[in-house]
Structure 1
Amino acid sequence: MATIERHTTKERGVHAVHAISFIILLLTGIGLYDKSFFGITKLFGGVDLSRFIHHWIGIVFIISLFMMYFQWKGEAAVFDKDDKEWLRVFGGYLGKGVKSPPQGKFNAGQKMFFKMIFWAGILFGITGIIMWIPQFFSLPKIIVQLTYILHDMILIGL
């Protein structure tokens, strides 16, 4: 039986880099978020090294986010009438005999997830950079403080 390649090696590699960077950011971020989670920072060499890793892996995360966007934008960012029908019938998951319309490489649910991850990643990047080097932006202190809240809320929203 022949193997059908759904994703290229490059696509899988970019996705893996993005996923691994997210996991590292999650662990270092939660370790820095609250003192009750500081123990996690020991996995990364302590608080200071965790912060350093978090900042630089954040850059890897944003670069891989854009790489994923550009490699899949034609297939994952465009909705057509079949996608609207897929959403209407919830992909055929919620009823017997309900047939899902034909889908391309990604179904409508995956396309929605792709868009959510992309825009959440953009917001993570913007808020993260403001938190990392606030003096670069000359923003009022209240705006910088609000970026911390927004950064946390994005994660909770995911």
Structure 2
Amino acid sequence: MEKLRVGIIGCGQIAQIMHLPYLMELPQYEVAAVCDISAKVVNTVAEWYGVSDRYVAYEELLAADDIDIVAILTMDHGDIAEAAAESGKHLFVEKPFCFDPSEGHRVLSAVERNKVKLMVGYMKRYDPGYEYGMARMRAMEDVRLIRVHDFAGDFSVHEPLYTL
């Protein structure tokens, strides 16, 4: 099976503790490039995960012909997602997808125009626990209100590479 080559844009905490570790475990993907506005962060993350292609400008990563998919893990995504679609790359975009409707329409227009695929990372959508809960709710009769409590957190010792 030929691996899909992934470019990571944004190497902050969510990339480091979630996306990169899981992508490295999946045999159908190869993390081919990483990009962050901080050269220190991009170099550190690239060393941790053995990635040779490193960028501090997302435009340079998008210009690379050997990238199939980009994971956009930055705080805001609109301009980067639109540029990625225009470059012909498939996109995975962290939530929230956009900050206003016009931004979302711009990105979706670029996705449709360039016939690329887009997935927004609603992390729990395919989680077995979520699917179980949804199945239980669907099995209830005449449900008008459901209240769900969830508690989650990172209880490990964590030192971010940079702060804002």
Using the size of structure 1 for normalisation, the TM-score is 0.25
Structure label with greater radius of gyration? 1
Which of the two has greater strand per residue? 2
Using the size of structure 2 for normalisation, the TM-score is 0.25
Which of the two has greater helix per residue? 1
